[in-house]
């Protein structure tokens, strides 16, 4: 307990020093897109730090424990998405002029009303994602200190908000790279340690456990649920606001492209490591253990206390990495796509609005965090809404020569409403299938809006 406390406190002190050296943002361009000057190393590190958070570490170990390499298939869908974004979409985003957010992209392609609507949806999703990250961080703090849930939630929210609100995107990206370097070394090291000292029977025993877990996963997971999982992970985090902001903040289109491609390639290795840790944990961790606690329970049972304490600190750091990116992106979206449409057009006013927005989004997310059932379930809710609400209009808008405003509006409204309705529906055994009908409806609404506006204007141009 004493060692864990010392490490956590020491880590927070170092984090604050790192954030302070990143410099406080003095202009809105610093706060929002770091003056479009981020190099490849920081883009890559920040992307990886954002996605190797609790969903792709804590929860993937739990899913590997229960379902073996089934969830590696799901994770690879996410890897493919990153690579495709790097090849096809991120360079197109970076090439656009005067864009701070995805809302600006919608504004250029579809008009101001679509920008405001995209901003509202993006802020909502950033808040929901932030609630999941805060909840995950609270799980770790609960394990360290045994604090009441609401206290752990408050600590995670306050620490992250303190440096994100003042440092902006640059501070977020630099601290993300610091977190990623620590975490990317630690968990593979834990896997190597476990393989060398705690796998009785060697590779043959690991193979047997992997086959048993994977067979159980495929036997107990309906095909439609597997398809839903793959679809959700393929599309659910595609260009969410933190990733879009990094694409826009890259130094060049080449940096934007290569950052996403390298992050996608790294994620394949990361998923394999996490799933392997879950499989190795099967003989050690009781079957009654919740999936979000498999990694913590396993390391506590098999490694020295100092290593366990270091893991806890690293888990806190990687949760903060995901959270600070989401808070900054949500604040920039709220300022750029909503507030600046009506007020706060001066640089200093926009910077102030962005800082206050960070605090407000963090407070709302913290209030919601106490109701998050688990990390994966919370993320799936976000994925099921984001993909149909934003992606059809965004991707088609980037590739169609003259996209029509009615198509964008109908696609976003219909996609959001259908996703929420299916999310609330209790007929299905799992909410993951919500993304499929919502995507179909969103695409159909886009086609209908494109056709109707074409008829109204009497020609192909809007």
pLDDT over 90, % of the chain: 26
Beta bridge partners of 38: 250
Average pLDDT over residues 60-80: 90
Mark 380-402 as b/e (b = at least 16 C-beta within 10 Å). bbbbbbbbbbbbbbbbbbeeeee
Question: How confident is the model at residue 216, as a pLDDT?
Answer: 92
Q: What is the rounded distance in angstroms from the CA atom of residue 4 to the CA atom of residue 35?
A: 38
Question: How confident is the model at residue 19, as a pLDDT?
Answer: 53
Average pLDDT over residues 210-218: 93
Token pair 């390298």 is found at 262
Token pair 């989401």 is found at 326
Question: When comparing pLDDT for 431 and 164, which is higher?
Answer: 164
pLDDT over 60 (residue 266): yes
pLDDT over 50 (residue 442): yes
The answer to the question of residue 86 being in a domain is yes
Give which of 24, 336, 280 is closest to 170, Cα–Cα: 24
Q: With bands split at pLDDT 50, 70 and 90, how would you rate the model's confidence at 415?
A: very high
Question: How confident is the model at residue 20, as a pLDDT?
Answer: 53
Q: What is the rounded distance in angstroms from the CA atom of residue 404 to the CA atom of residue 95?
A: 21
pLDDT over 70 (residue 170): no
Residue 35 neighbours by CB under 8 Å, 6+ apart = 29
Output the CA–CA distances (angstroms, integers) from residue 110 to 89, 191, 386, 397, in the order listed.
Answer: 17, 49, 19, 8
Give which of 288, 343, 356, 318 is closest to 179, Cα–Cα: 318
Indicate the range of 264-268, 280-284, 316-320, 452-456 predicted with least confidence.
316-320
| 3-class state of residue 38 by DSSP | strand
**What secondary structure letter does DSSP report for 250?**
B
Question: How confident is the model at residue 96, as a pLDDT?
Answer: 84
CB 282 within 8 A of CB 70: no
**Residue 173 burial class via C-beta count within 10 angstroms: exposed 0-12, middle 13-18, buried 19 and up:** buried
Output the CA–CA distances (angstroms, integers) from residue 310 to 140, 196, 250, 295, 377, in the order listed.
Answer: 12, 20, 32, 13, 27
pLDDT over 60 (residue 213): yes
The answer to the question of residue 439 being in a domain is no
Q: With bands split at pLDDT 50, 70 and 90, how would you rate the model's confidence at 84?
A: very high
Work out the mean pLDDT of the chain and round it to a whole number: 82
pLDDT over 80 (residue 117): yes
Question: When comparing pLDDT for 158 and 346, which is higher?
Answer: 158
Tell me which H or E stretch contains 209: helix 202-220
The answer to the question of residue 354 being in a domain is yes
What is the tens place of the pLDDT at every residue in 368-402?
A: 988 887 777 788 888 889 999 999 999 999 888 88
**What secondary structure letter does DSSP report for 425?**
-
Average pLDDT over residues 419-426: 76
The answer to the question of residue 50 being in a domain is yes
pTM of the model: 0.81
pLDDT over 60 (residue 22): no
Q: What is the rounded distance in angstroms from the CA atom of residue 318 to the CA atom of residue 309?
A: 14
| 3-class state of residue 286 by DSSP | coil
pLDDT over 60 (residue 33): yes
The answer to the question of residue 458 being in a domain is no
What is the tens place of the pLDDT at every residue in 344-369?
A: 567 778 888 888 899 999 999 999 98
CB 127 within 8 A of CB 330: yes
Question: How confident is the model at residue 428, as a pLDDT?
Answer: 43
CB 368 within 8 A of CB 131: yes
Question: Which CATH number characterizes residue 190's domain?
Answer: 1.20.1730.10
Beta bridge partners of 250: 38
pLDDT over 90 (residue 449): yes
- Which segment, 20-34, 269-283, 404-418, is predicted with the most confidence on average? 404-418
Structure token digits, residue 375: 């990390």
Question: How confident is the model at residue 392, as a pLDDT?
Answer: 94
**What secondary structure letter does DSSP report for 353?**
H
CB 116 within 8 A of CB 413: no
Please give the tally of structural domains in the chain. 1
Angle (deg, nearest 10), helices 375-399 and 58-67: 110
CB 50 within 8 A of CB 321: yes
Question: How confident is the model at residue 426, as a pLDDT?
Answer: 45
The answer to the question of residue 392 being in a domain is no
pLDDT over 70, % of the chain: 84
Phi, psi of 396 (to 5 degrees): -65, -35
CB 370 within 8 A of CB 132: no
The answer to the question of residue 393 being in a domain is no
Indicate the range of 52-61, 208-217, 396-405 predicted with least confidence.
52-61
The answer to the question of residue 451 being in a domain is no
Token pair 């392997």 is found at 276
Question: When comparing pLDDT for 422 and 17, which is higher?
Answer: 422
Domain housing 363 = 2-374
Question: How confident is the model at residue 126, as a pLDDT?
Answer: 92
Q: With bands split at pLDDT 50, 70 and 90, how would you rate the model's confidence at 461?
A: very low
Question: How confident is the model at residue 15, as a pLDDT?
Answer: 59
């Amino acid at each position: 307990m004493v060692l864990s406390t010392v490490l956590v406190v020491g880590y927070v002190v170092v984090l604050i020093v790192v954030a302070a050296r990143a410099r406080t943002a003095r202009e809105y361009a610093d706060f929002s897109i770091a003056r479009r000057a981020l190099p490849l190393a920081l883009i890559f590190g920040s992307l990886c730090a954002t996605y190797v958070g609790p969903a792709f570490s804590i929860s993937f170990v739990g899913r590997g424990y229960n379902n073996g390499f089934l969830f590696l298939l799901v994770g690879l869908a996410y890897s493919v998405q990153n690579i495709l974004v790097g090849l096809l979409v991120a360079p197109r985003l970076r090439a656009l002029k005067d864009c701070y957010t995805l809302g600006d992209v919608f504004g250029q392609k579809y008009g101001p009303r679509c920008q405001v609507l995209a901003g509202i949806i993006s802020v909502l999703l950033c808040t929901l994602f932030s609630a999941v990250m805060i909840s995950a961080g609270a799980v770790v703090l609960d394990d360290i200190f045994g604090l009441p849930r609401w206290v752990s939630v408050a600590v995670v929210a306050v620490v992250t908000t303190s440096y994100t609100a003042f440092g902006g995107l640059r501070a977020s990206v630099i601290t993300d790279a610091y977190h990623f370097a620590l975490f990317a070394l630690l968990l593979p090291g834990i896997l190597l340690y476990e393989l060398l000292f705690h796998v009785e029977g060697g590779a043959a025993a690991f193979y047997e456990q992997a086959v048993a877990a994977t067979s159980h996963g495929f036997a107990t997971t309906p095909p439609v649920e597997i398809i839903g999982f793959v679809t959700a992970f393929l599309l659910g985090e595609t260009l969410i606001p933190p990733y879009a902001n990094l694409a826009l903040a890259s130094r060049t289109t080449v940096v934007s492209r290569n950052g996403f491609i390298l992050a996608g390639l790294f994620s394949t290795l990361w998923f394999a490591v996490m799933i392997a840790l879950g499989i190795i944990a099967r003989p050690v961790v009781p079957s009654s253990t919740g999936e979000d606690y498999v990694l913590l329970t396993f390391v506590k049972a098999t490694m020295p206390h100092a290593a366990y304490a270091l893991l806890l600190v690293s888990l806190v750091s990687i949760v903060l990495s995901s959270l600070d990116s989401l808070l900054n992106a949500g604040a920039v979206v709220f300022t750029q796509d909503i507030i600046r449409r009506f007020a706060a057009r001066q640089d200093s006013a926009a910077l102030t609005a962005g800082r206050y927005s960070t605090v407000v989004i963090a407070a709302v997310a913290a209030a919601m965090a106490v109701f998050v059932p688990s990390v994966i379930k919370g993320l799936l809710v976000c994925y099921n809404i984001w993909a149909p609400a934003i992606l059809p209009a965004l991707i088609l808008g980037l590739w169609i020569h003259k996209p029509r405003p009615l198509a964008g509006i109908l696609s976003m409204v219909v996609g959001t409403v259908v996703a929420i309705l299916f999310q609330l529906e209790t007929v299905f055994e799992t909410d993951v299938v919500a993304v499929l009908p919502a995507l179909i409806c969103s695409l159909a609404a886009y086609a209908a809006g494109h056709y109707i506006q074409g008829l109204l204007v009497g020609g192909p141009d809007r």
